[in-house]
């Protein structure tokens, strides 16, 4: 792999970050139910985090002279039940963790030719992995918590 091929992949990752930003922003409004107000704030905060990710990818790509970084999101699924939103969001973040773990391996292949750039990009991707991994962990706990609290009779407790 060459650095320019890696930047193409990175531009795809940027498209995905745009999609995450739109997903959280959209669902901050779409969320319905008893705790909709609190979750509106939660998803708005998540959208702010994604905005920082989008900015980070844009900065990296412009910094590395990539001609035309991606300008917006792809289509995404939308739902309004809290548990469904969280389930979709967990999947989005899990995919990011998987993809960016792969990026670290791909960057290892580039390290001989571009040691400084790859070292820097690894730190950048590691930060992204940390954010998505922790978001996943947090949202899995929210899903487990809401399952316990919304369906007590079914479980007989
Ligand atoms: Fe995300
Ligand atoms: Fe992100």
- Structural domain count of the chain: 1
Q: Does residue 156 form part of some domain?
A: no
CA 81–ligand 1 middle distance (angstroms): 19
- Cα 100 to Cα 23, 24, 30, 51, 156: the distances in Å are 19, 20, 29, 18, 41
pLDDT in tens, 32-69: 988 899 999 999 999 999 999 999 999 999 999 999 99
Which phi and psi (to 5°) does residue 121 adopt? -65, -30
CA 29–ligand 2 middle distance (angstroms): 19
Q: Does residue 155 form part of some domain?
A: no
Whether residue 89 has pLDDT greater than 50:
yes
What CATH number does the domain containing 32 carry? 1.20.1260.10
Whether residue 17 has pLDDT greater than 60:
yes
Kind and range of the H or E run holding 75:
none
CA 156–ligand 1 middle distance (angstroms): 36
Range of the domain at 131: 3-149
Whether residue 155 has pLDDT greater than 50:
no
- For residue 150, the model assigns a pLDDT of 59
The protein residues having their C-beta less than 5 angstroms from ligand 2 (an ion) are 17, 20, 50, 53
pLDDT in tens, 108-126: 999 999 999 999 999 999 9
CA 51–ligand 1 middle distance (angstroms): 10
Q: Does residue 91 form part of some domain?
A: yes
């Amino acid at each position: 792999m060459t650095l320019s091929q890696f930047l193409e992949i990175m531009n795809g990752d940027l498209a995905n970050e745009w999609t995450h930003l739109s997903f959280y922003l959209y669902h901050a409004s779409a969320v319905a139910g008893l705790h909709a107000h609190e979750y509106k704030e939660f998803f708005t905060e998540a959208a702010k985090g994604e905005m920082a990710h989008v900015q980070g990818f844009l900065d990296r790509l412009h910094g590395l002279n990539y001609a035309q970084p991606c300008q917006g999101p792809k289509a995404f699924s939308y739902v309004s039940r809290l548990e469904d939103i969280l389930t979709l969001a967990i999947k989005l973040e899990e995919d990011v963790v998987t993809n960016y773990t792969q990026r670290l391996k791909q960057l290892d292949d580039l390290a001989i030719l571009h040691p400084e750039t790859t070292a820097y990009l690894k730190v950048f991707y590691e930060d992204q992995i940390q954010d998505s991994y922790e978001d996943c962990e947090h949202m899995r706990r929210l899903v487990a918590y809401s399952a316990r609290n919304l369906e007590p009779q079914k479980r007989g407790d």
